[in-house]
Chains A and B, each alone.
Chain A
Amino acid sequence: MREGWLSLDPFVVAVVLAMAVLTYLTKVGGLWVLSRLEVSDRLEAGLSVLPGAIVIAILGPELASGGPSEWAAGIVVLAIAWRTENILLALCGGILAVVAFRGLV
């Protein structure tokens, strides 16, 4: 277990700060570089699908390794997220659903 809520592992801090620096560079890099180089619409189209595609690439194998309970609960999450656009509601609904479905199976 963790030693405490306020513990800071130096290695973890280093990784987090590296993430922060790289993220900041992506945030300022566009204005700094792309405004001088002119990015093609083609490349822009490719970059714009990256976040969604990466999220799907995470979900695929994760859901494939689950079973009918997880899949059905996943549909519940999607349905609530779509209808309400409320992430907390979707999460709570999904968790209740997965517990319920696991009880049935």
Chain B
Amino acid sequence: MAPSHDHTAPADSASDSAVRFSLEGVRVGFLTCIPVALGVAGYGVAFGVVANQAGLSVAEAALMSATVVAGASQLIAVELWADPLPVTAILVTTVAVNLRYSLMGAALERWFRHLSPAQVYGSLFLMADENWALTVRDLKTGSGRGAFLLGSGIAVWTFWVASTVLGVLAGGVIGDPARYGFDFILAAVFLALAADLWEGRSTFVPWLVALATALVASSVLPGRWYILLGGLAAAALEVIRYDA
């Protein structure tokens, strides 16, 4: 963010400039992230089951988990999945849901400026909410472990892809979804996701706006555009009321 001559916190910048990219950093990141990655695997199984119901094969779902590496946007994509594929809606929603990663990546800049482009842009591919949070926590201690994001990302990626495969295979065994209440899985996954994303009372008003917008839009507009409209209405409100 600030140019290098503008360091206002000398102690901080001293430890930040000692950021290195080492195998040890990868190792610590990986091991620290294992318990968190187990939690990620819970979503992975759920994503696999839902992807199976949407008609994706094991290979297609695994490809998505391996290359996109962004849980909420993947779940929303398979929620939108239909024949023919609503490509524009899927891609626009993917970007909207993942825009937060731009902010998260920018927050790493003060440490990552000491790494090579290959190290930075390689690590960022594996950035997810969970390992980003762990990485920021680790770097803020002045550990200088520039490879922490990569190591923790490898843990998340491995569990995410493996649990996706498990979920699609389980979903394939289930058969008629409604008989066992499996038509409720998607709603249940999103409810759990909402519980995760809830940030206390500051979330209440934007969510209420998103809900109202989506309910109105879904009754007057075709397709699934109400999803994007609900999200954008909440974001717009947040921008407008920022001073208040």
Q: Mark A64-81, 1 if CB is under 8 A from B, else 0.
A: 101000100110011001
Which residues of B lie under 8 Å from residue A41 when comparing CB positions? 242
Given the known inter-chain contacts A30-B106, A53-B210, A54-B210, please indicate yes or no for A46 contacting B239, CB distance below 8 A.
Answer: yes
Tell me whether A49 and B60 are in contact (CB under 8 A): no
Residues of chain B whose beta carbon lies under 8 Å from any beta carbon of chain A: 1, 39, 42-43, 45-46, 55-60, 63-64, 67-70, 72-74, 76-77, 79, 85, 87, 90-91, 93-109, 112, 120-121, 124-125, 127, 168-169, 172, 180-182, 184-199, 203, 206-207, 209-211, 213-215, 218, 226-236, 238-239, 242-243
Beyond A20-B68, A28-B121, A49-B234, 13 additional pairs, beta carbon < 8 A: A19-B90, A28-B105, A31-B106, A35-B109, A44-B103, A46-B235, A47-B235, A51-B97, A54-B96, A54-B210, A58-B190, A61-B214, A61-B226
- Chain A nearest CB from B69 CB (Å) reads 7
A56 vs B233: C-alpha distance when bound (angstroms): 12
Which residues of A lie under 8 Å from residue B206 when comparing CB positions? 49, 52-53
Tell me whether B55 and A19 are in contact (CB under 8 A): no
Partner of B67, one of A20, A27, A44, A74: A20
Interface SS majority for chain B: helix
Residues of chain A whose beta carbon lies under 8 Å from any beta carbon of chain B: 2, 4-9, 11-13, 15-20, 22-24, 26-31, 33-35, 38-39, 41-64, 66, 70, 73-74, 77-78, 81-82, 85-88, 90-91, 94-96, 98-99, 102
Partner of B234, one of A7, A19, A53, A74: A53
Tell me whether B184 and A55 are in contact (CB under 8 A): no
Given the known inter-chain contacts A6-B57, A31-B120, please indicate yes or no for A96 contacting B91, CB distance below 8 A.
Answer: no
A35 vs B217: C-alpha distance when bound (angstroms): 36
Tell me whether B87 and A15 are in contact (CB under 8 A): yes
- Chain B nearest CB from A94 CB (Å) reads 4
Partner of A81, one of B112, B187, B196, B203: B196
Which residues of B lie under 8 Å from residue A54 when comparing CB positions? 72, 76, 93, 96-97, 210, 227-228, 230-231
Tell me whether B106 and A8 are in contact (CB under 8 A): no
For the complex of A and B, 9 pairs with smallest distance between CB atoms: A57-B230, A30-B102, A53-B234, A20-B67, A57-B214, A87-B42, A53-B210, A54-B231, A30-B105
30 A-B contact pairs sorted by A residue (CB < 8 Å): A5-B59, A5-B168, A6-B59, A17-B67, A19-B74, A22-B95, A23-B98, A23-B101, A27-B98, A27-B105, A27-B124, A28-B105, A29-B102, A42-B243, A48-B238, A50-B97, A50-B234, A53-B206, A53-B230, A54-B93, A54-B96, A57-B227, A57-B228, A57-B234, A59-B191, A60-B218, A62-B186, A74-B188, A91-B192, A94-B191
